[in-house]
Structure 1
Amino acid sequence: MKSTRILAFIILLLLFAVTVVTALTVDDLRLVNAVKNRNIATVRTLLKQHADPNAADIDGTTPLIWAAHNGDAEIGKLLIAAGANVQATNRYGVSALIEAATLGDAPMIDALLKAGADPNSTYGAGESPLMLAARTGSITAVKLLIDRGANVNGADEFKGYTPLRFAATENQPEIAKLLIERGADINARSRRFEFGELKSASGGALMERAEGGMTALQYAAREGNIEVGKVLLAAGGDVNAPEPQHKFTPLLIAIYNGKYDFASLLIDHGANVNDGSLYMAIELRNMDTYSNRPNPPETDRTLTATDIVKMLLAHGADANLVFDKTPPQIQTQGTVTVPAGATAFYRAVKAADLPVMRMLLDKGANPSLAIKNGGTPLMLAAGGGPARAQEEEVVDKAGRADPIEVMKMIADAGADINAVNDQQNTALHLAAQRGSDKIVQYLINRGAKLDLKNKQGKTPAEVAPKRTAELIAKLTNGSVSIENSAGAVQDSPDVAARAILEANCTTCHNLDRVKTKHFDKESWQGLIESMRDKRGGPKDLSNEHIQVLADYLSKTYGPAGK
């Protein structure tokens, strides 16, 4: 009986304890909720009733952290006066000072610092209140933190970002100026160099993963933040500082990201214009010539890629600068890397960019300067790029100029028509292999030799794929007029048309595979047109050719049902 009474008493005590704890929890949450709802009158009442100012929400967020989150400095001061812990953090590591700094809330920051909050406390990967405040543009908040001992060169643990880096990326020139005045290292580098740090205006990324670091000026260049860029340059930011892996300078980064106005600022401050920027400006101007992505916006704030090309040349950019490695590329679907040894002129030829070609030639570009495999700009225009099977018709695709116009500009500038690459192929060899009647005819008329042999001992005529009667005539008789280049041999249009189709179509089905389908004339015509429209298709095949060829094939192999 005695033991039963004892057990009953214990149960009553436990029930009382649970009731008390529940009541306390409800009371404590009343304060949290009042602060959340920004109800200062209720907060005052609860604090007078001795509510615990450090009672935390379910995730550990105290009333003071909530007050800082809401930007309620008056409530924050009430909580501090009631004994709130200014160093408390929730389960995410966020303190009241972190919240206040994120908002740039100077009154709250001041109250917290006076109450003993640590200005060098961090959260997450090591972001400090000063880093967060630097983003906001609140000069007062930043001054308060620095005056209380915040480290102006403190870096986060993961990427080594400093307060100055955040000011640069968020375009906060006054903050950047203050940080520099208080001792920030103008040329400090981030600890890690990630894919995303070199963004591009076209949406691409570098081909190789990079390691290393970037300076505040490089970050400003990436974002095109001219105002903060001026502050950094005036304070002695290194205008030519390269990142370690790809040697991207601020100028190259600015152009890579389509920030042409920032690029102009850097050029005016003495940036090295022979860092690859000329090539990159032409690259960005002509992105659509060999990728499935559009060009980045032509105009930045006021300047275009063309303006930057002109500016670079006017400031002494070497039009014949040869890259000693594969130029930095933007990796996009369909990209074909321009090989080592390419020049800005070679890139302009690749895009059939006649205006830029003319600018470069006027500044002394050598039209015969070859890449490392001996390929010349003329060979590229004629269809003999370094990866011909992938680059075929790339000049046609550009939509800027006919290949003949491109070659004419190159030849008129003094290029050697009969130059050979490391396989002893000439431009005529490559054009014949491509099967382009117009280009072959043009080269012959400009003096291309028909008897030169490549390393395989073949002449241009001998490398032509199933050459048509017209093509043979051109390769063996330079008197064939250019007016006939699109009409083939007039007495045998069916043979000529079929030869042109088979010689030029590198990606479509072989006729021998489809000729047994017994298509009618309309079906043959549709098939041939679709072949012509494909990349690598027979662009020299005229509508007249298609009609003649469709009629010939339907008669030869019979329409459907035969």
Structure 2
Amino acid sequence: MFMNRQTLLLAITGVMFGLALSIVTAAPIAAAEGPLVSAVRSGDVQRVRTLLAGAADVQVTESDGMTPLHWAVQQDAVAMVDLLLAAGADASVSNHYGVTPLTLASINGSGDAVARLLDAGADPNTRLADGETVLMTAARTGQVDVIEALLDAGADPNSYEQARGQTALMWAAAENNVGAIIALIEGGADVNARTSDLNAEQSGGTFSREVGLTRESQSGPSFTALLFAVQLGQLDAVRALVVLGGDVNDTFPDGTSALVLAAMNGQYEVGSFLIDQGADVTAAKQGWNALHQVIRLRRTNVGHLPPPKGTGVLSSMDLINKLIDAGVDVNAPMVSDFRDGYRNRLNRVGATPFLLASKNVDTAVMRVLLDAGADPLVTNADLTTPLMVAAGVDMWNPGEDGGATAEDEPEALEAVKMLVALGNDVAAVNDRGETALHGAAYRGAPSIVDYLVEQGARLDARSSQGWTPWTIANGVFYSLFYKEQPATADRLAELMADRGLSTDGMADELRTCFDCGRNRGNARDAEGRRVAQPTPDQVPSQGDQQGAPPQE
């Protein structure tokens, strides 16, 4: 059980702790055992009495420093613990890895053994080489009587381990041990203690690591016990911490709120509870709010980082509706991009929740947002419209982006039709000269091509790369790989031929690397502003689109 808990905490924090304990509880040491150790390990109480009466060395150690008392405690053999302590065993002895009997008793959650060891003089602030205290160990295993005994004996409730500055309260929160949380806070634990603050105090430096799906690079993620519980969806722990003084609007240094963290990790029930307790649904200091985050998480990329599996009974749509009811701004623009590790081409600066839902062709969310007052015409900072992204503009890879598989084409067509009906202009161009029809070529969706052309989309419109929709479908190099959509190229060629347009000279013979001319600096340059609107001569009229000569 202990190793399972260690594995969980390693996954949560990336902290290496308890190596010594895993060594202790591993297979027996190959070296020959003395008679007293052998008797203790076999559970032979009478044999232990006999050996002690015969002046056996109660402090005898094995090659790794383990004593009979270690083994008696490890096996939770309280009667043997009493015998050994009465015979003079050192309650504070440590093996070669720094593990004491009190540490082992805390692992086992044995209140009787802990009480006896403390009475015999064991140090309640005993810690391993990495700084893990016996109180932290007890907090993780969750035995309240052990925690209370340690606190009563003088254990420091705010001690922290060295790797990340985590406290016993944080470990109790991560394990959802509500009784331990209450006991620790009543015993003086600081409910608002932060990991990076403590770590910086000790090391004089800063560190960075992942928070859920977000990579931070400032002064560290600075977890509190509440943020640990939120990240893991430990609803009972979240409730207890909020009641006992935790800040429902707690944030990381970059401004990521507890509510956004819950959404980021798919912890929708926790998010709902935070809203009920007054969490600010508009919080977006790091660049986006919880509504943006939930919509993003509904359809993440395929074949890369798996999306988080949240806890609880609520769905993402439940949380979306809760956010809307609580007053979230459904038209709030993102001011910086997600940092979630997924491959992405869309500049999400300026993106509203509706544009994100359109990118994922998530028609259910699109309708909910429209009912809540979302503006379906707002573009991102590059002037990319909801219609463009629904058609396929800024898709990284067909089949990889959320809503980009071949099976998604019917819903993509539904989204495109919805957006045109809502007033999105099929002739609109973004700052790279792309139209919705270029997007359909990226996606490889003949049905969307047909519909857009019926609505007046220009077949020979050229992007700033000089690409027409047919050029893209015929084959170009972008997003690291060469891609082509033969069926879509054939359909575009047919439609062009019907209108007297030729594909001559449109093939991208050099297989230009689309992304070689773009970098994340484009997104950074666009933050906080909108690029200039295209001039009238850059936007062809609807009436001039069909049968016009190719643009040069």
The normalised TM-score by structure 1 is: 0.71
Q: Distance in 2 between matches of 1:43 and 1:116?
A: 22
**Contact between 1:353 and 1:401, CA under 8 Å: does it hold in 2?**
no
User: How many Å separate the matches in 1 of 2:499 and 2:276?
Assistant: 53
**What is the CA–CA distance in structure 1 between the aligned matches of 2:124 and 2:402, rounded to whole Å?**
62
1:395 deviation in Å?
Answer: 3.6
TM-aligned CA distance change 1:296 to 1:97, over 3 Å:
closer
List aligned pairs for 1:10-29, cutoff 5 A: 29=34
Does 2:337 match 1:313? Answer: no
1:484 aligns with none
Distance in 2, matches of 1:373 and 1:61, equals: 66
1:136 corresponds to which letter in structure 2?
T
> Which residue in the other structure is 2:536 paired with?
none
Pairing partner for 2:268 from 244, 255, 260: 260
Q: Pick which of 181-190 and 458-467 moved more.
A: 458-467
- State which drifts further: 217-226 or 396-405: 396-405
Contact 1:396 1:402 in 2 (8 A): no
1:356 alignment partner AA: V
The residue type equivalent to 2:338 in the other structure is P
5 Å matches for 1:138-287? 138-191=143-196, 198-199=211-212, 206=215, 211-245=220-254, 247-274=255-282, 275=284, 276-287=289-300
Q: 1:437 to 1:56 in 2, by over 3 A?
A: closer
Residue 304 of structure 1, aligned match among 315, 322, 325: 315
> How far apart are the structure 1 equivalents of 2:118 and 2:236?
31
Q: Specify the SS of the correspondent of 1:85.
A: coil
Superposition deviation, residue 282 in structure 1: 1.9
Structure 1 position 356, deviation (Å):
0.7
Greater RCO (Cα-Cα under 8 Å, separation 6 or more)? 2
- 1:208-253 Cα distance to aligned partner (Å, 9 max, x none): 79823211111111221111111101112112222225x4322222
Aligned residues: 452
Partner of 2:432: 423
1:529 alignment counterpart: none
Identify unmatched segments of 5+ residues in structure 2.
Answer: 1-30, 200-205, 475-488, 513-552
The correspondence of residues 30-429 of structure 1 with structure 2, limited to 5 A, is 30-191=35-196, 198-199=211-212, 206=215, 211-245=220-254, 247-274=255-282, 275=284, 276-288=289-301, 290-292=302-304, 300-331=311-342, 339-385=348-394, 395-397=404-406, 399=408, 401-428=410-437
Distance in 2 (CA, whole Å) between partners of 1:122 and 1:46 is 32
On the 8 A contact 1:212/1:244 being kept in 2, the answer is yes
Q: Provide the rounded CA distance (Å) in 1 between the counterparts of 2:51 and 2:236.
A: 49
Measured in 2, the distance between the counterparts of 1:463 and 1:111 equals 76
More displaced stretch, 205-214 vs 451-460: 451-460
8 Å Cα contact 2:393-2:436 kept in structure 1: yes
| Residues 330 and 352, structure 2, Cα contact 8 Å, conserved in 1 | yes
The verdict on how the C-alpha distance between 1:435 and 1:84 changes in structure 2, with shifts beyond 3 A counting, is: closer
Distance 1:438 1:75 in 2: 79
Paired with 2:111 and 2:321, the residues of 1 have a C-alpha distance of 47
Counterparts of 1:409 and 1:87 in 2: how far apart (Å)?
72
Structure with greater helix percent: 1
1:433-476: CA deviation from partner (whole Å, max 9, x where unpaired): 87755434423443546797765799879998677553215767
Contact 2:331 2:352 in 1 (8 A): yes
Q: Distance in 2 between matches of 1:411 and 1:463?
A: 23
Judged with a 3 Å threshold, the aligned counterparts in structure 2 of structure 1 residues 442 and 197 are, in CA distance, closer, same or farther, namely closer
Q: Which amino acid aligns with 1:236?
A: G
Query: What secondary structure sits across from 1:287 in the alignment?
Result: coil
Amino acid at match of 1:302: V
Looking at structure 1, the residues matched to 375 and 441 of structure 2 have their Cα atoms a distance apart, in angstroms, of 25
Cα contact 2:403–2:412 (8 A) shared by 1: no
> How far does residue 336 in structure 1 lie from its aligned partner after superposition?
5.3
State whether residues 191 and 246 of structure 2, in contact with CA within 8 Å, keep that contact through their aligned partners in structure 1: yes
Specify the alignment match of 1:541 in structure 2: none
1:144-195, CA deviations, whole angstroms, 9 ceiling, x for partnerless residues? 1101110011111221111101110111111101211222111111136988
Q: State the SS of the aligned residue for 1:355.
A: helix
* TM-score normalised by L of structure 2: 0.72
8 Å CA contact retained: 1:428, 1:448: yes
Moved more, 185-194 or 387-396: 387-396
Q: What is the aligned-residue identity percentage? A: 37
Q: Provide the aligned C-alpha RMSD in A.
A: 3.7
Q: Rg larger in 1 or in 2?
A: 1
Classify 1:320/1:474 alpha carbon distance in 2 versus 1 (closer, same or farther; 3 Å): farther
Contact 2:345 2:394 in 1 (8 A): no
C-alpha contact (below 8 Å) 1:87/1:117 kept by paired residues? yes
